[in-house]
Structure 1
Amino acid sequence: MNMKRISMAVCLFVAACGGEDGGPAAEPTAYADMSFEERVVFMNDVVLPEMKEVFVAFDPKFEAMSCATCHGNGATDGTYTMPSPQIPVLPGTEEAFLEYVKDPEAARWSQFMLDKVSPRMAELLQVAVFDHETNPNGFSCHNCHTLEGVPGGTP
């Protein structure tokens, strides 16, 4: 984690949002409460650099990571819609997923996503991480990946 970079971005964001009278700036806006334009700035200035660092540590090929890496065609058309059908489609059931991770490469990627990507993205977006028992609506695989056999989940 690069907390210094996040702190700097938050400070810049707060400073930029200061009152017109030069008074103290408002608290930073939560991602869920940001306008589309604010989200684009936040993604470019905070999320992309942070997640690029996470992905490059896992695999140096992500040095060229861009908005399109995750958002696919949504980065081109300006919608940034997620989940993105341009990134790998994941199994849509627990049984199929357990079969999927029998492949060592799928297991390696799944562990990376579980240990590094999901918690970091949840933290950046200021949302809770998925937990089957305590937080079934938390940030999880299907926030980014489409799921086989799930309505709206197959490209």
Structure 2
Amino acid sequence: MKHISIAACLFVAACEGEPDGPIAYEDMDFAQRHAFMSEVVLPQMKEAFVRFDARFESMSCATCHGDGASDGSYAMPSPQIPRLPATEEAFFEYIEDPEHARWAQFMSDEVWPDMAELLGAPVYDPKTAPDGFSCSNCHMVEGQR
């Protein structure tokens, strides 16, 4: 993907001065994560979301991180974005709605793998990457507090 290579260049630039190259996202401090999210993740995700639905033209940190984005008090997964069904059965009922199915397809085809790649994390797989990046890194599930 050409976006990932641009993202990688921005990431390297954001981490300039590191003697051993770019820092893994999980090893970044808050300021480094903020810069990476602002300069790399937000522009790429905004582009994808706008392609999906033009109303995301005003996408900002608050779109995913909620009210706490402005002062850094947010938590992920975010209680301020749509919650997902808690069971596989409930999820399949959920995506019977065409709009929910459209969103699920977009998220699974674009957002999920792109975010995993940007963060340097494997995509969740119960057998090979049980701690990998998944929907639940951003979305809470029904009943979760």
TM-score, structure 1 normalization: 0.86
Aligned length: 144
Q: 2:71 aligns with which of 72, 77, 95?
A: 77
Quick one: distance in 2 between partners of 1:11 and 1:145? 28
Relative contact order, CA 8 A, sep 6+: which one is greater?
A: 2
| Match runs of 1:2-151 below 5 Å | 2-14=3-15, 16-18=16-18, 25-150=19-144
Quick one: distance in 1 between partners of 2:121 and 2:5? 20
Query: Cα offset for 1:4?
Result: 4.7
Residue of structure 2 equivalent to 1:22:
none
2:4–2:118 Cα contact (<8 Å) kept: no
2:12–2:21 Cα contact (<8 Å) kept: no
Q: What is the letter of the counterpart of residue 130 of structure 1?
A: Y
Unaligned runs of 5+ in 2: none
Identity of aligned residues (%): 57
Please provide the CA RMSD for this pair. 1.5
Q: What is the letter of the counterpart of residue 9 of structure 1?
A: L
Q: Secondary structure, in 3 states, of the residue corresponding to 1:85?
A: coil
Quick one: distance in 1 between partners of 2:4 and 2:136? 26
Unaligned runs of 5+ in 1: 19-24
Query: CA offsets per residue over residues 50-102 of structure 1, 9 Å max, x none?
Result: 11111111111111100000000221331231111111111111111111011
Q: Secondary structure, in 3 states, of the residue corresponding to 2:132?
A: coil
